[in-house]
Amino acid sequence: MKFNTMDTFITKGIRISVEPTYRQEQSSPKDSKFVFSYEIIIENRSSNVVQLMRRHWIIFDSIGSVHEVEGEGVVGAQPILRPGEKFKYQSWCPLNTEVGKMHGTFLMQRMDNEEEFRVHIPEFHLICPARMS
């Protein structure tokens, strides 16, 4: 079930949009297993060629647990984006609670001078639809 909202943030000309979806078929509320997927769109609105080098996520659930995920690239890729290009991918996150949220950063690198900079990933909420009623 999609949440019908796309959260967006722009840092140094790099636009990050996120759309979360609850995955009912992979979830098991009786076992406190709530699975969410999220689609990320990275759009280069700058005048520079950039490469996504690393990701850093901070994941919260509703009982106060915090989990951090850090690593190279996204879904096995370190995409290079020329001005005007987009890269889209989908990933997922399991929670032990019906409600949570995520946010983070991508470490980007300009290809012309190797300058590194962090791009903010907007905070987005992960909510089991049963919790919304």
> Is residue 2 in some structural domain?
no
- pLDDT score at 1: 45
Count of C-beta atoms within a 10 Å radius of residue 112: 9
CATH of the domain at 79: 2.60.40.1470
Residue 7 pLDDT: 83
| Residue 107, domain member (yes or no) | yes
Within a domain: 17: yes
Residue 51 resides in a domain: yes
28 burial via Cβ count (<10 Å: 0-12, 13-18, 19+):
exposed
Percent of the chain at pLDDT above 90?
90
The enclosing H or E element of 13 equals: none
Burial class (CB in 10 A: 0-12, 13-18, 19+), 124: buried
- Structural domain containing residue 12: 7-128
Q: What band does 4 get if pLDDT is binned at 50, 70 and 90? A: very low
Nearest-angstrom CA–CA distance, 24 and 45: 35
Residue 120 has pLDDT above 50, yes or no: yes
pLDDT at res. 104: 97
Dist CA 35 CA 26 (whole Å): 6
Gyration radius from the chain CA atoms: 16
pLDDT attached to residue 83: 98
- Cα 107 to Cα 120: distance, rounded to the nearest angstrom: 9
Number of structural domains in the chain: 1
Query: Residue 2 has what pLDDT?
Result: 46
Q: What is the mean pLDDT of residues 86-101?
A: 96
Record the tokens describing residue 113, joined without a space.
């001078």
Residue 63 placed within a domain: yes
Has residue 1 been placed in a domain?
no
Question: Does residue 13 form part of some domain?
Answer: yes
Contact 128, 29 (CB under 8 A): yes
The Cα 113–Cα 64 span in angstroms is 41
Task: Kindly report the average pLDDT of the chain as a whole number.
Answer: 93
| pLDDT digit string, tens, across residues 7-56 | 899 999 999 999 999 999 999 999 999 999 999 999 999 999 999 999 99
